[in-house]
Every structure is written in structure tokens, then in C-alpha cells.
A and B are shown apart, each in its own frame.
Chain A
């Protein structure tokens, strides 16, 4: 099984400042057949289901603000919120979609400092 490890578990960032979340996979999730990284990011606000933010490691979903950026390749990935807004308070999860069983990182809780 591919183990997904997120860091930090939580972080507090001032409004307008940058938040950086890391995600590491226990093996490469870069496909040699299509050169895509099989990594997605979700945002989950309290009492709500997850919302897909980014697919293929760096493709922002329709309607997702530009302040959300995904990067990385192979085994190391990053979700960056360039200027934290109040509505960004949430738990963020990475998920590998490279192979079954599909696995999630443990989540990173983002709060306002």
C-alpha cells in the first residue's frame, strides 16, 4: 500500500500570509505512461464533505481561487495558499489515485493566527 504522510498536522497563519502544506508518498506516484502525478488535494470545512481543489498534483479545479497552488512530483508534493483568507480555515487532505488501495494523508488543519 502507498502511505501518504502530511506535514504539519496543523498550522496557524496570519490573514494574508502564506500557508504551506506538505505531502509525501511512500513510493512514486508519477506515471511513466502519461507523465502525470496521481495526486489530488481536498479541502474539508467543519461539518461539510470534502471538496476537490487540485487534481494531477497541480491542476486547479474550476472555481477554485488562484491563491491555491499545487506543486511537486514523484513522491513530494506541496499545497500552497498564497494569501490566507478567513474562508480557507479547514482541514486539507492529499490523496494518491495511482493504485488501489487509494489512500489519504492524515490531514492538515489550517487556522488563523
Chain B
């Protein structure tokens, strides 16, 4: 059974930082493209970042470029999202997702991030 478990969310002040983690099991992690998708309260889905299998190719939505960094550790079956210079509009549930390309058949339950003073 595939499991993706996010952690690291919480309350942070504007301008602060958080590091999200996603631990995977039940999949051959090194073969998966891994992604972060977020959902603001009561809103729709927004793609945030994707990292390919080798970790060298990374893609971001414009609104987080230069502030967020996606990474992975295939030896630990984990991916990460380092979020710096957080803004109020970054408040959302952040989902870890995995798949074979630009869409995702495995999802975690999400971790909430609240940016507020």
C-alpha cells in the first residue's frame, strides 16, 4: 500500500520559514516524480513544485520561485519543501503527491501551513 506522510506544517509569522517533509512507503520512490500541491482554505488546488527522479530537475510556480526549494533524498524515500520569506497568501494545506510524470496517483493527507502575525 502506498503511503505518503507529510510533516512540518504549522503557524509562522510573515517573513518566516518552514521546512515540510514527505516520507514515502509502498512505492519505488527513486522512480517517482514528486510534487507539492497546495489548497488555500475553501479554495481549489494549486501546483507548487515538482522534482524529477534524479533530483536535478525542479519546477516551480512563479509565485514561489526564489522563496521555495524542493529537494529529495532517494536513500530516505523522502522529499522536502523549504519555504522561506513566507507570505500570508502561502497559507494552505500542502499535499505531497507522487506519480510518473506531470500528474499524480499517490497523495498524502496534507499538512497545514498558516502564515499570520
Binding site for B on A (CB under 8 A): 38, 40, 42, 44, 48-52, 55, 61, 93, 95, 97-98, 100-107
Contact = CB atoms under 8 A, between A and B. Distances in A.
Interface stretch (B13-21, B22-30, B79-87, B103-111): B103-111
A109 to B, nearest CB: 11
B105 A97 contact: no
Contact of B107 (A38, A50, A61, A101): A50
A102 B47 CA distance: 6
B89 to A, nearest CB: 16
A78 to B, nearest CB: 18
B110 A103 contact: no
B62 interface: yes
A93 B101 contact: no
Contacts of B61: 101
Contacts of B68: none
Nearest to A101: B61
Given A44-B45, A103-B47, 11 more contacts: A48-B109, A50-B45, A50-B107, A52-B99, A52-B105, A61-B105, A93-B45, A95-B103, A97-B102, A98-B102, A101-B59
Nearest to B93: A49
Given A50-B45, A106-B44, A40 B103 contact: yes
